[in-house]
Chains A and B, each alone.
Chain A
C-alpha cells in the first residue's frame, strides 16, 4: 500500500489528453512538499519528467505538464503519442515517515 495513491491504469487514443492523479495526505503533498514525476519505459530506469510540481527538465516536451493542489497532484499529457506508453510514478516526501515516498505507479496505454 503506497503512501501516494495513483490509478493503476489510464488509456487514451493518439492525439488525446490524459491525466494521472497522485493523491497524498497532510504529511506529504498537503504539507507543501514538492511532487516529482517519472516516466519508466519497459526494461529501463525511470526518467525524470517533472520536478518541483510543474517544472520540466531540459529535453522533456511541453506536452507534459504537472500541477498540484491541496493534497493531490496531477500529470497531464496532451497530444498523446505511441511512445508515451509507459509507467508513470509520482514522488514526494512524507514528514511523518521522514522518508521519500513514491506512488504505486500508473500504466499508460495508448490505444
Chain B
C-alpha cells in the first residue's frame, strides 16, 4: 500500500532553515511527481511546488521562489523540502502529496496520497 512518511516536528529560530523529508513506499517513487503543500494554524491549504523524482526537475510557487528547494534521493525513495530564511509566518504544517496519476500521463494536479504532515514552528 502507498505510504508517505514525513519527518518529525521542528522548532526553528527566525532566519534559520528547515529541511523536511518524505519517504515514499508502496509504489515506484520515480514514477510520480511529489508536491508540497502547507497549512498555517487555522488557515487553508497553500501549494508550494513540485519535484519530478525521475529527472529532479522542480517548479515552485512564486511566493516561495528563492527560499524553497525541493530535492530527492531516489536510492531511498525520499523527497525533501528545504525552506530558508524562516519567518514567524512560516509556522505551519507541511505536507508532501502524491498525484493520482503517474508522470507519464502528464497530468499531476490532484493528490490521492498525503504524508501525515510535519509541524514547523518558527519562534525566537
Contacts and interface: CB of A to CB of B under 8 A. Distances in A.
A48 interface: yes
A83 B35 CA distance: 28
Q: How large is the interface on B (under 10, 10 to 19, 20 to 34, 35 or more residues)?
A: 10 to 19
Contacts, number: 57
B69 to A, nearest CB: 17
B109 A36 contact: yes
Q: How large is the interface on A (under 10, 10 to 19, 20 to 34, 35 or more residues)?
A: 20 to 34
B100 interface: yes
Give the dominant DSSP class at A's interface. strand
Interface of A: 2, 33-34, 36, 38, 40, 45-48, 51-52, 57, 89, 91-93, 97, 99-105
Given A36-B110, A100-B35, 5 more contacts: A46-B37, A46-B114, A51-B100, A103-B44, A104-B44
